Amino acid sequence: MKSLLRQAIQIQKQNLINRLIQSGIYKKNDTHLYELTLSELENEFKYIKKDSLETKRG
């Protein structure tokens, strides 16, 4: 059971890392994305998504 949960978390982290890289984000401060927790990656993605929406609205 732990293995499946760990695998699901890793997949979600990799998905968020890929999407952040596509948005031009490679690090947060001086920390590489792969060093961040899932929660930190989710927060960064939400911030980027929110910023992107506000930019589009002008």
pLDDT digits (tens, 9 = 90+) for 3-35: 999 999 999 999 999 999 999 999 999 999 999
pLDDT at position 1 is 67
pLDDT at position 40 is 96
Give the whole-angstrom CA distance, residue 11 versus residue 15.
Answer: 6
In 1-58, which ranges are continuous DSSP H helix?
2-22, 38-57
CB 36 within 8 A of CB 44: yes
Number of domains forming the structure of the chain = 1
Banded model confidence at residue 54, pLDDT cuts 50, 70, 90: confident
Which residue segment(s) compose the domain that 51 sits in?
Answer: 2-57
More confident site: 50 or 19: 19
Residue 2 pLDDT > 90? no
